[in-house]
């Protein structure tokens, strides 16, 4: 992880000065979306990089200990060993960026990773009444503390959308700051739920406010909204990250989540990070992909790179 962001004092004039050029943003996002991706061994390298940035996630109501065990084993061995060997990248020790679960499953994930010899992979926990955040603040803060006590090293919180939609940015700042304090040594990832913020100006403002309050990462979505990660939203958020870095010197991570299912999508998001923020933001300490099914397609593409054909369904284990 990058150095912690201590946050800065709330600056209402900074928030009020926000302006988003919608036509220019749309045009830039379209350019990213239609651009030809890298090919052959370059493509394989980008796909392997994407693997290391995945937050391998299970957020289902029927999650069980066996589900978590399976997820953690896959986190340690995200790509089939025969593919890793064929590409001669065994020395890279490729794993996913984190395992993401509900608070009730954090202890199970910590134990499973330890049993797999992969304790270096952090456990991330969603918290604060995920995905809606419609629980009392006291309850949301306690949920963070309990997840951290159980071993979560990253906490994905949801911001108060009511405050954001009514322009109460100081209220959003105060809540996120309290959540950062509740995290202790765990890194704080703030979910903006951009599909519910109404417009891109609110997305930019919410990004800035969360970073001011001490967020280590800003994240697009819970994955449960009607509209999740889009390139337009991502572009606005990474521009906010760049502005915050230029003003404060602190590097904030970015995590698009929801609807990212293909290796091509992953490479497009990586290209956005590379072009807008630089190579440093294409690594897991500053970039994550929130996805549960993405890894399947990346393995499928890597299989094609190695063998020149796509694998049958039984040849690639489900993630």
DSSP for residue 257: B
Neighbours of 89 (CB within 10 A): 15
Helix (H, G, I), strand (E, B) or coil at 101: strand
Residue of 55, 150, 156, 265 with catalytic role:
156
Identify any residues that bridge with 123 across adjacent strands, giving them in sequence order: 99
Is residue 189 flagged as an active site residue? no
Residues near 314 by Cβ (< 8 Å), separated by ≥ 6? none
Residue of 74, 180, 189, 255 with catalytic role:
255
Q: How far is residue 95 from each of residues 43, 69, 78, 282, measured CA to CA in Å?
A: 18, 15, 6, 15
Radius of gyration (C-alpha) of the chain in whole angstroms: 19
Q: How far is residue 287 from each of residues 99, 115, 224, 292, measured CA to CA in Å?
A: 14, 27, 21, 16
- The answer to whether residues 48 and 279 touch, using CB atoms and an 8 Å cutoff, is no
Is residue 114 flagged as an active site residue? no
- The answer to whether residues 26 and 232 touch, using CB atoms and an 8 Å cutoff, is yes
Residue of 74, 180, 205, 219 with catalytic role:
219
Helix (H, G, I), strand (E, B) or coil at 290: strand
> What tokens appear for 227 in the block?
């509209």
Is residue 108 flagged as an active site residue? no
Neighbours of 76 (CB within 10 A): 18
What does the alpha-carbon distance between residue 291 and residue 288 come to, in Å, rounded to a whole number? 9
Catalytic residues: 156, 219, 255
């Amino acid at each position: 992880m990058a150095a912690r962001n201590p946050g800065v004092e709330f600056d209402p004039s900074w928030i009020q000065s926000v302006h988003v050029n919608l036509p220019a943003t749309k045009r830039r996002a379209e350019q990213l979306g239609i651009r030809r991706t890298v090919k052959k061994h370059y493509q394989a390298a980008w796909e392997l990089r994407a693997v290391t940035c995945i937050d391998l996630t299970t957020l289902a109501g029927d999650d069980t200990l066996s589900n978590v065990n399976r997820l953690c084993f896959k986190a340690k061995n995200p790509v089939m060993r025969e593919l890793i060997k064929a590409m001669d990248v065994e020395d890279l020790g490729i794993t996913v960026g984190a395992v993401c679960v509900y608070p009730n499953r954090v202890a199970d994930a910590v134990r499973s990773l330890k049993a797999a010899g992969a304790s270096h992979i952090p456990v991330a926990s969603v918290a604060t009444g995920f995905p809606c955040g419609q629980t009392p603040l006291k309850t949301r803060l306690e949920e963070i503390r309990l997840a951290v006590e159980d071993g979560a090293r990253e906490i994905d919180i949801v911001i108060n959308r009511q405050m954001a939609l009514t322009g109460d940015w100081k209220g959003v700042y105060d809540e996120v700051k309290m959540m950062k304090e509740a995290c202790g040594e765990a890194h704080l990832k703030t979910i903006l739920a951009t599909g519910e913020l109404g417009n891109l100006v609110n997305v930019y403002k919410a990004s800035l406010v969360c970073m001011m309050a001490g967020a280590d990462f800003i994240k697009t979505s819970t994955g449960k909204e009607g509209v999740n990660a889009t390139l337009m939203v991502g572009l606005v958020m990474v521009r906010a990250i760049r502005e915050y870095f230029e003003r404060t010197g602190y590097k904030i991570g970015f995590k698009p989540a929801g609807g990212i299912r293909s290796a091509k999508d992953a490479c497009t998001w990586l290209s956005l990070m590379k072009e807008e923020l630089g190579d440093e933001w294409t690594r897991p300490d500053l970039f994550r992909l929130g996805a549960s099914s993405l890894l399947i397609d990346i393995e499928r593409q890597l299989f094609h790179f190695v063998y020149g054909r796509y694998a049958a369904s039984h040849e690639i284990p489900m993630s």
